[in-house]
Every structure is written in structure tokens, then in C-alpha cells.
Chain A
Amino acid sequence: MIRFLWKGILRDRSRSFLPIIIISIGVALTVLLSAYMQGAMTDMVDQNARFETGHMKVMTKAFAANQSQLPNDLALLEVSDLLQQLEKDFPMVDWVKRIRFGGLIDVPDQEGNTRGQGPAIGMAFDLLNPQSEEVKRLQIEKSIVSGHLPKTVKEALVGHDFAEKLNLKIGEEITYFGTTMNGSMTFQNFKISGTIRFGAAALDRGAMVVDIQAAQKMLDMQDGAGELLGFLKTGVYHHEQAAKISQAFNDKYKNDPDEFAPEMYPLKAQNNLADLLDYADMMAGILVFIFVLAMSVVLWNTGLLGGLRRYKEFGIRLALGESKPHIYWMLILEAVIIGFIGSIFGTIIGLAGAYYMQIYGIDISDYTKNSTMLMPSVIRAKITPIIFFIGFIPGVLAMVLGTMLSGIGIYKRETARLFNELI
């Protein structure tokens, strides 16, 4: 019987052609959008991990509570010991120190008077240590627009747009003004080794990148760090593992009432990323639902038109001894087959599009200019295993739903009536 249906679908192009085209388009769009959302989410999580959250992050409890204010007075101290302990307890994780700091950049002229000034969002990474993975992890070299990485603690990278605005040249001196960990004023001169653009609005506003030792010194944070970031050595965020490590670490300090006691947070527990990821899942769900609905309505109507054309066929089949319910089920089976064919075509088209978008991406930097969230400026699609299957849900479901609705007409019509179409 399936072979009988199959022959009908193949030979009667007008029966299958339009639905297959409609399904292909819908499925291709679903696949493309899903891949695109996957890509956006993955990029976003990845970028957040690299710059802000790590796969897990250790801070003091007090620091965590006031994180947005860069409260370096609440930073971790004696981090060398803590790092040693972490490396021993969790050898599958690469641990690094980070300091973020605010302040002012002052550009002096020849006489030492202020030529220009701007706010600085400072970031200190372990740049000079040859064992450090940070330069590679943060892709700093790729982000350098001109010049080179700092080679000494006396050198700094400054944000490219900031440098252009103040007309800064490589090799010129700038002065950083800020407060130390203990609250006293501090200033420090740096030579500009290069300019940098990370491509994320939240990072590029007045950015200044120095070595971690330079920051520790100028902020009076000997052996201190605002945060310790952990990266799983596999390179891929794995929530269960990160949560387990965090739990194990936090259990040790469970009964420590000290507000400077360290605490570990997995990525998903930071920056509302959990909400964001749930939201993305929900959006994907809604998207698929909308496609199912819209395509069902269209296919319902094509089903009605096709059904009218086929009343004669149904009449003959009834006379030959098929029952109405059987004809109805065969129609649905036919819909499943057509839905599958359409979904296969649609998935191929969608994957081709997604593959293209995976390479080229869409530049959204214009839209994220003012975003305070860490978002990549170019969003690329990402093809994950689920992308190969996701299109089949709306494809097959919509065709079946559309056919079920249009097929009701067969039930409503009296048998003799269907049959009279013959005469």
C-alpha cells in the first residue's frame, strides 16, 4: 500500500509539487534561523566565557555581590596559594588571574599639560608569562589594529577608537589615574605599544590592556586579583562538570563566615546567562511553533484544493472497497511521506545557507554599539547535530496537520456524494 502511495506521489506531480515547495521553504528557514540562533548563542556564551565569566570564576563573596562596580578593595589576596590549591584539586581546569579596573587616561603634551582625557576600562591579563594561554585565548593578537603586544610591564594597549579620538601615536606616553585597592590615589605612566579593537561594544569603550603584574603593582594588589577564571582544558563549556567543580570548591568554604572567603560560580550562574540560554531555547521553540502554524494553514488550503481535484479518485477508491477512515489514514501517510521529502530538501537548502552563514556571518556591530552586554559583532550560524533534524518537526507536522484539516471534508461528504462525482 505504501508503494501504491509512493507511486501516486511520484507520478502525480501536481499532488506533491506545491506542498514540497512550501515545506522546503519553511524547513529551510527553520534550519537557517535555528543554526543562526545556535551560532549567536554559542558565540555569545563563548565570548562571555573568554572575557568575563570563564567556565567558572572564583571571587570573594563580597566582590561577587558588588561585581559591577569593579570593587578591587574586595579582591582576592594570596592568590598564589589559592591557585596552587586549585591546580591540585582540579587539574582538568586551566586557572588564570584577572583584574579589571576603572579610572582615567590622561594624554600629556610636550609641556606635560593635559592634551586629552578619557575614562578607561582597564583589563589586566597574564600577558608576559610565557606559560600563559591568555594571549591565545583572548585572541589579542588578532584584535590588535596597529602596533604589538606589550613586551614589558611599562607598556599598554589602548582601544583603537579611543586612540583615534585623542590622536594617539604608538610609542607615546599616557598616564593612568585611579585608586589603589586601599583607596588612595595612584598614577602610572605607560607607553602605547599598540591599539586594539575587540569587536564588542562593551569591551571597546576606552579599553586599556596591561599585564597583570603592572596592574597588581599600580593598584597595590600584591599577590591579589579581582577574579580567578577557570577554563576547562577541553576548551568547551560543559555545565554539569563546571557545576560539580564549583560545588566541590564551595563545600570547603561552606561554613566560613568571612566575606572575603572565595566562592566559585559556574558560567551559567553568572551574568544572567542561564536566563539568556533558557530564553534562547524558548525562542527556538516559539519559532518552530510559528512555522508549524503558518505552514499548516497554507498546506491546509493547498490540501483543500488538491482534495477537490481528487474527489473523483476517492470516489473510485470507496467503490473499490476502501473505507473512509482508511482513505483518511492513507492521506495522512501520504502527508508524512511528502512532509519527509519536503523536509529533506528544505534541510539541504537550509544547511547550505547555514554553512554559508557559518563562514561569512552578519555584522551586527551597528546594532550593538550601545550594548552593555558582551556580544560578538559578527554573528555566524553554527551547524550542530540538532540542526540536521530540527526542520523535520515543522515540515512533517505542518503537512500532517494541514492534511488532517483538509481531509475532514472527506468525512463530511456523504459517501454517495463523493461517489456521484464520478457520474
Chain B
Amino acid sequence: MKTETIISLENVTKRFPVGEGEFTALDHINLTFTKGEFSGLVGPSGSGKTTLLNIIGSLDVPTEGKATVIGHDIASLSHKASAKLRNHHIGFIFQVFNLLPVYTVFENVEFPLLLQNKTASERKKAVMEALDWIGLADYAKKKPNKLSGGEGQRVAIARAMVKRPEILIADEPTANLDAANAHSILKMMKKLNRELGTTFIFSTHDEKVMTYLERIIHLRDGKVELDERIKNKNQAS
């Protein structure tokens, strides 16, 4: 049983200035995530899912409270330190097509390694391996605009996983996909979760996604409404 805590949120609160006043998007969130978890945030639109994922991903800081990710206090990181944390330890997958348009599939997947100053041969090896995971090794030279939505999302997975991050954040990754593609991607992520031990955190409205999750955290109005651990039919597959 692995119980090592990788993310801990203590009273995390986020307020956004709105006109004269403030809007509370997250309201005293207390959560911990352990290594290798396959969990998801669900809740109505505007409940704060993206805001919370951004804080965990060190793209934003809490207004109040403390977010600790892989031992780093998110609020205290410099530009450079938070970039380094993202670059080495956190992968992102978004709802929409989010590849760099002028670069090929290979170059997109290579980019995080370029930032890590890996050598050309190291990069090539890692990129081709990542493209093998997602079954798109033949697409290396293609441009993103030549890919279907499902293929684009698979390349995004390869790009997020190529650096073998501890944490993968997926913000509504299946929202723009048909059922077949959604299942294929979820299976792929589940497999990587098992093989590489990566911690996955989703945000989703999608019932299909929920059937893969081990843990579902329900958010409403910036508060945790329910935090349930479940046994799902797709977990074993």
C-alpha cells in the first residue's frame, strides 16, 4: 500500500477581484493526494475545478492557505522555480487541442526535454518511446493541423508523459472527443498510471471518465462537497 503524500492542500482559498469586490472561487479546500492516485474533480461549471488544478500545477497561487506539491510551497516559488517544477515534475493535458501549431508532432513532444537541456540523442530516444506508448510513432513528422482530435489528444499525452512526471493534470481531456476516442485515451492514461506510477488528477463532467477513477472529489461553489473512494469496473482493465 503506497501512502506517500505528494500533494497537500491546507485551507486553500482563491479569491478573484471582480469589479469593486471579490469572488471566492475556492473556499478553504483541505485535500491530500498520495503517489500513484488516479483521481478526479467533478462539479458544475464554475465550481472551481480549473482554479484548483492551476494551483496544484503551479500556474497560480492561493490567496490564502498553503499548497504543497512534491515538497514545494507553491506560493513561495519564484518564476524560475515554479517553471522548473512544471518542467520536471508536472504534465498537463487540456480540453482543447493544445499543441504548438507550427511545430511537428516530434517537436511538440520534444519541447519539454529541450527546456531540460537534454542532448539530441536523449531527446530522440525519449520522444520516440513516448510516441510508441500512444501508438503514433509514424506521425512524428506531421503537423498538428493534420491530426484528428483524438490523435491530437494522444500527442498531448505523449508530450506530458515524455519527461516522466510525478503528477499529470488533465483538465477535461475528453470533452471534445467521441466515446471511442475518449475510452482509448483513458485506457492509455490508466496504463501509464500503472506502469510509471504517475499521479493523475482529472477535472471532468464526463461520466465515461468517472468510470475509470479510483477517487472522485465533488466540488460545489469552491468547497469540497464529497470526497469518495470507489471501486470501478474500468479500474482493472
Contact = CB atoms under 8 A, between A and B. Distances in A.
B50 A320 contact: no
B87 A322 contact: yes
A415 B83 CA distance: 11
Contact of A326 (B60, B83, B112): B83
Interface stretch (A3-11, A365-373, A396-404): A3-11
Given A7-B107, A419-B59, A318 B102 contact: no
B111 interface: yes
A423 B95 CA distance: 7
Nearest to A321: B87
B115 A316 contact: no
B83 A313 contact: no
Residue among A4, A8, A320, A325 facing the most chain B CB atoms (10 A cut-off)? A320
B79 A320 contact: no
Contact of A8 (B60, B86, B103, B112): B103
B115 A322 contact: yes
Interface in B175-224: none
Chain A interface SS verdict (over half) = helix
B60 A325 contact: no
Given A1-B114, A416-B54, A320 B92 contact: yes
Contacts of B88: 321
B94 A423 contact: yes
A316 to B, nearest CB: 6
Interface in B45-96: 50-51, 54, 57, 59-60, 79-80, 82-88, 90, 92, 94-96
A312 B103 CA distance: 14
B100 interface: yes
Contacts of A164: none
A423 B83 contact: no
B164 interface: no
A320 B95 CA distance: 15
A419 to B, nearest CB: 5
A336 B87 CA distance: 26
Contacts of B98: 312, 316, 422
B171 interface: yes
Given A7-B102, A319-B86, A319-B92, A419 B111 contact: no
Contact of B86 (A312, A321, A420): A321
A387 to B, nearest CB: 35
Contacts of A325: 79-80
A332 B4 CA distance: 43
B159 interface: yes
B84 A4 contact: no
A205 B115 CA distance: 74
Contacts of B51: 416
B91 to A, nearest CB: 9
A361 to B, nearest CB: 46
A419 B94 CA distance: 10
A323 interface: yes
Interface string A406-419: 00000000111001
Interface in A1-40: 1, 4, 7-8, 11-12
Contact of A323 (B82, B100, B103, B159): B82
Contact of B60 (A312, A322, A414): A414
B87 A320 contact: yes
Contact of A415 (B59, B102, B112, B116): B59
B112 A320 contact: yes
Given A7-B107, A419-B59, A423-B95, A320 B102 contact: no
Interface in B1-29: none
Interface string A319-359: 11111111000000000000000000000000000000000
16 contacts: A4-B114, A7-B102, A316-B100, A318-B59, A319-B94, A320-B112, A320-B115, A320-B159, A321-B84, A321-B115, A324-B79, A415-B59, A416-B54, A422-B98, A423-B50, A423-B96
Given A323-B80, A416-B59, 17 more contacts: A12-B102, A316-B99, A319-B86, A319-B92, A320-B111, A320-B115, A320-B159, A321-B83, A321-B90, A321-B116, A323-B79, A323-B84, A415-B60, A416-B51, A423-B50, A423-B94, A423-B95
Interface of B: 50-51, 54, 57, 59-60, 79-80, 82-88, 90, 92, 94-96, 98-103, 107, 111-112, 114-116, 159, 171
